[in-house]
Each structure stands twice: as structure tokens, then as C-alpha cells.
Chains A and B, each alone.
Chain A
Amino acid sequence: MKTRYLVYTTIVWVLILFSSCCRKSSETARYFLTDEEKSFIPYTKGQTLTFMHSQGHKFNIDVLVSDTNMMRSLVEHCNEDYVVYEYIFSEMFSADPLLYVNMTINPKNISEYLDIQVNNERFWLSTTNNPDYDTLSIGNTVFTDVYKIENSFQDTTVIKPRSILYNKKYGLLQIKLTNNETFDYVK
């Protein structure tokens, strides 16, 4: 009798313990990109962009990917819910010079930045800031509403991307290296 009572008690306690474990996560919000946010990535898949190095070499960067997708936020802990949000991802590539350029924009509830990666360097353009230049000449072309994003490096002796110029109409306008060589967009 005592043993049976002990067994039943144990089973009840085990059931209570398990029931207090993780419940199924659920979606608490869904965010979509505004037209304003979408306008930060002007690329379409299959597009070819021409750039020119400051020493005169012209080359193409191909837009391999430019898609809109939905993403679920990461659930890392017990009883944590998630949100679903829309994002745009764009990927561009040049074979020689070897350049990979990736861009991602999320709704402002997720991030207020356009995330731009040029090979191993990342740049974050704040989508809530105003452009840094009303007009700016790059090469022989005048561009309007230009943003400048700069990284600060301790070691400037290593040649790598240091700053970029960007506008919503054409996208990436210039990549500047730490030794001041540039790759300029050719309209």
C-alpha cells in the first residue's frame, strides 16, 4: 500500500515537473518593410553594374540575388516567442577584382540599418539618418542624396575597404580602400 502510494506520488510529481517545461513558441508579431525601407536596395537579379578603379580598370559587378523573403526570429530560450519579418537580401559579385557585396535590409523594428558587406568588411547605413551630401561628384557624374559610411581601423597599413558611398537611386556608388584607391560606379 505504502509502495503503491509512493509510486503514484512520484508519477504525479514527474507529470507536474514536465508540464512546467517549455510550452510551444508562438508568433507574437509580423513586420513588413515599408516602401521607404524597400527603396534602400534598388537592385534586381540579373542586373550588371559597371565600376571603374581609380587607375582606370573597368569591370562588371553582377547582381546574383535580390530577393524579398520572410524570416522568423531566433528562439533561444524556453517559453520564448518569436516574430516574423520581411527582409530584402541582395548579393553581387565581380570575378576580377574578386569582390563580393551583400546587402540586407530589415524592418525598423528589427534593425534600423542597411547592412552592407564588401568581402570581409561590413558597413552599416542608418536608414533613419539623412544623406550626408545633397550632391556629390564621383568621377564625371553628379549624384544626389549620397550617404557616406566609414569604418575606422587601427591599422591603416592593410589595404582593404574603408568607406563606401551609397544612394537609394543607384545603390553602391563607391568603395574606397584604406590607401585611397577607389572603385567608382559608372552610370
Chain B
Amino acid sequence: MLNKVSIFILTIFSFTSCTKKNCIDIEKSNLYMKETKEWKFNDSIGNRQIIDDNNISQTLIFMGSDSIEYKETVWDDCGQSYGSFSCSAQFNTSLSMFNFMINLNAGSYIKEEYDKWPTYSINFLITSFINNDQHNKNIKFDLVNSKIIEGEGKVKYLDNYKVDGKEYEEVLKIDYDWMYADNDIKTLYYAKHYGIIQFINGFGNKFSVIHTP
């Protein structure tokens, strides 16, 4: 009887002692937050000229951006708190009628939630006017775990990529699986600080940002 009670108590104790407190890894979170913010487009760059493979020019118009940052949005079981950051930037092409919205999201969730809902992410939403109708497609990419969490396609991290003679460091190459027509965007290149640097349509025509030194 005593043995059974002892075994029961020991079993309960061992289960309760396995329960971990949900504690935010502040050091890691700060690192992820810093790295996510580096993907933000540098507003001071503004509009840029694009040229395609047929030497047709247009402007990649920077429409504006909004950022929101909170110091404390979640509290863990260890007496710690953490904040969040989100940013949205929009671009239009002056001739081709494409609209790009780039959203960054960082922070907020406790460590346990990372696996379920990664929150260090970047969204690439493209709105195109194809076949006389408006179409949207979106890819959301987890910057920490390097995987797509929304949308269909592939995202590849490049250490560097050259466009119009300029070598950009830390570039994401986004390939969309879905195209509404051949003149829709198939591939997008996005660089840290510089934003969109090139996109390619289904015809293989490359639209490249012109580098002005």
C-alpha cells in the first residue's frame, strides 16, 4: 500500500517537475528583431527608375510606408515582457500597373508560440491589372525559420545579387508558383534597405532598378 502511494506521488512529482515556464529568450528575440528591421526599405531612397530588357523605362514609385512599434505587448511566466514591430511599404510602377506591398512583422510572441506562429516575417503582396481585371498574390516568409508560411512559391536567400552593375548584399529571391497571365510577375528580388531591385515577368522580361551612384 505504501509502495503504491509512493509510486503514485513520485509519478505526479515527476510530471509536475517537467512543466517548463514559458520564458522569452530576450537575447534571441532582440537579435531577430534587429535582423527583421534591416529588411525595411530605406525611405530616403524614394522613387527609382526601372528599365526592362527592351530598354523601356518607367518609375518604381515609392508610395509611402507606415511603422508601428510597441515596447511591451506580451508578458511571459518569468516576469519578462517583449514588444513588437510592424512596417508596411507600398510601391507602384508608373507604366506597367503593378502595385507592391511589403509588410514586416516582428516580435510579440513567447518562445513557445514561435513554433506555431512565427512572427519574424516579411510579406510580398503583388496587385496586378491583368486581362482588364485586378489580381492579388501574396507570399509570407518566416525570416527565422526560412520557410514560407503563406502563399505558394519559393523564397531563396542570396548573399548578394547584381543588378545594373550594382552588387546588393542580402537579397531575397521570391518565385511565385502562380501567374494570372504571361505578363504577370514570376520572380521578385528584394534587398535589405534597398527594397525591390528587380522583377521578372512570365515572358522572362527583367525589370531592373537603375543604379545611380
Q: Tell me the complex Cα distance, A179–B210, Å.
A: 15
**Shortest beta-carbon distance, B63 to chain A, in Å?**
12
Other-chain contact of A55, B56, B58, B181 (Cβ < 8 Å) = B56
B33 to chain A, nearest CB (A): 35
Q: Mark B126-140, 1 if CB is under 8 A from A, else 0.
A: 000100100000000
Does the CB pair A96–B205 fall under 8 Å?
Answer: yes
Encode A59-98 as 1/0 by CB contact (under 8 A) with B.
1000000000000000000000000000000010101111
Task: Bin the interface of chain A by size.
Answer: 20 to 34
Q: Determine if B57 is an interface residue (Cβ-Cβ < 8 Å).
A: yes
Known A97-B54, A100-B132; contact A160-B183, beta-carbon cutoff 8 A: no
Are B55 and A159 interface neighbours, CB within 8 A?
no
Contact A97 B182 (CB under 8 A): no
B10 at the interface (CB under 8 A from A): no
Given A96-B205, A158-B61, A57 contacting B95 (CB threshold 8 A): no
Interface centre among A93, A100, A159 (most CB of B within 10 A): A159
- In the complex, how many angstroms separate the beta carbon of B3 from the nearest chain A beta carbon? 81
Interface residue B97 (Cβ < 8 Å from any Cβ of A): yes
Q: Please name all residues of chain B whose beta carbon is closer than 8 Å to the beta carbon of A135 when the two chains form the complex.
A: none
Contacts of B58 in A (CB 8 A): 159-160
C-alpha gap A19/B55 in the complex (Å): 67
New A-B contacts (13) at CB < 8 Å, excluding given A100-B97, A119-B97, A120-B97: A53-B55, A55-B54, A59-B54, A95-B182, A95-B183, A95-B203, A97-B96, A98-B95, A98-B129, A99-B95, A158-B47, A159-B94, A160-B95
For the complex formed, measure the closest distance between the CB of A60 and the CB atoms of chain B, giving whole angstroms.
13
Q: In the complex, what residue of chain B is closest to A98 when comparing beta carbons?
A: B96
Instruction: Say whether B59 contacts A158, CB under 8 Å.
Output: yes
Bound CA span A181–B49, Å: 13
Query: Is there a chain A Cβ closer than 8 Å to B201's Cβ?
Result: yes
Contact A57 B54 (CB under 8 A): yes
Asked if B47 and A157 sit within 8 Å, CB to CB, the answer is yes
For the complex, what is the distance from the CA of A158 to the CA of B59, rounded to whole Å? 6
Q: With both chains docked as a complex, state the minimum distance between the C-beta of A67 and any C-beta of chain B, in angstroms.
A: 15
Per-position binary interface string of chain A over residues 153-185, scored 1 when its CB falls under 8 Å from any chain B CB and 0 otherwise: 000011111000000000000000101010000
CB neighbours (8 Å) of A119 from chain B are: 95, 97
| Bound form: Cα–Cα A97–B95 in Å | 8
Given A53-B56, A55-B54, A179-B57, verify A159-B95 contact (CB < 8 Å).
yes
Q: A57-B54, A98-B95, A98-B96 are in contact. Are A157 and B183 (CB under 8 A)?
A: no
Instruction: Give the complex CA separation of A55 and B205 in angstroms.
Output: 15
- Are B57 and A96 in contact (CB-based, < 8 A)? no
Contact yes or no, B54 A159, CB < 8 A: no
The listed residue with most A CB atoms (<10 A of its CB), out of B56, B97, B132, is B56
Which chain B residues lie closer than 8 Å to A120 at the CB level?
97
For the complex, give the distance between the alpha carbons of A120 and B203 in Å. Answer: 23
Q: What string of 1s and 0s marks CB contacts (under 8 Å) between B45-88 and chain A?
A: 00101001011111101000000000000000000000000000
Q: Are A96 and B59 in contact (CB under 8 A)?
A: no
Would you call A95 and B55 a contact (CB within 8 A)? no
The interface bits of chain B over 93-123 (1 if a CB of A lies within 8 angstroms of the residue's CB, else 0) are: 0111100000000000000000000000000
Q: Are B181 and A95 in contact (CB under 8 A)?
A: yes
Contact status A159-B97, CB under 8 Å:
no
CB A182 to nearest CB in B, in angstroms, measures 11
User: In the bound complex, how far is the Cα of B94 from the Cα of A161, in angstroms?
Assistant: 9
Say whether B97 contacts A98, CB under 8 Å.
yes
B154-213: which have CB < 8 Å to A? 181-183, 201, 203, 205
Q: Which of A95-122 contact B (CB under 8 A)?
A: 95-100, 119-120
Contact partner of B94 among A93, A99, A100, A160, CB < 8 A? A160
